[in-house]
Amino acid sequence: MVIHIRGLQPLQEGTDPDPYVKLYLLPDPQKTSKRKTKAARRTCNPTYNEMLVYDRIPRGDLNQRVIHLRVLSDGAFWENTLLGETFISLTRLVPGQHWVDWHQLGRAGLDSTH
């Protein structure tokens, strides 16, 4: 579940972004695991409260899986701006239990593991 993001930077033009979250469940060579939230409008502190579901993942596979989370801003003519990203290991995930955590976003191209 994607709940909140806080402290995004304004765009280069000085306007607030229209952020949305895109997830991939790695490894995923065909990108069939892509999930995304709706875009929030003109905010650096969006609230989503959206559940992004992955079904039928064997429990034994969770230790090898990582969520690649990217925050992008909706742009004109399909040109979206990457605002930050992180990788979330699922090794601590226990099916059926809630796990709530904040994750620091790194800039594109930098090591953003948490």
Position 110 pLDDT exceeds 60: no
Q: Domain of 71?
A: 2-89
Is 35 a domain residue? yes
- Which CATH number does the domain housing residue 32 bear? 2.60.40.150
Is 40 a domain residue? yes
Q: Beta-strand (E) ranges in the chain?
A: 2-4, 19-26, 35-36, 47-50, 66-73, 81-89
Residue 114: pLDDT band (50, 70, 90) is very low
Kindly report, residue by residue over 70-107, the tens digit of the pLDDT. Answer: 999 998 777 899 999 999 998 887 777 787 889 999 97
Per the DSSP assignment, residues forming a β-bridge with 32 are none
Kindly report, residue by residue over 51-73, the tens digit of the pLDDT. Answer: 999 888 887 888 899 999 999 99
Is 82 a domain residue? yes
Is 111 a domain residue? no
Give me the number of domains the chain comprises: 1
Cβ atoms of 71 and 105 closer than 8 Å: yes
Is 98 a domain residue? no
Is 97 a domain residue? no
Cβ atoms of 81 and 17 closer than 8 Å: yes
Q: What is the pTM of this model?
A: 0.86
Q: Residue 79 and residue 16: Cα distance in Å, rounded?
A: 16
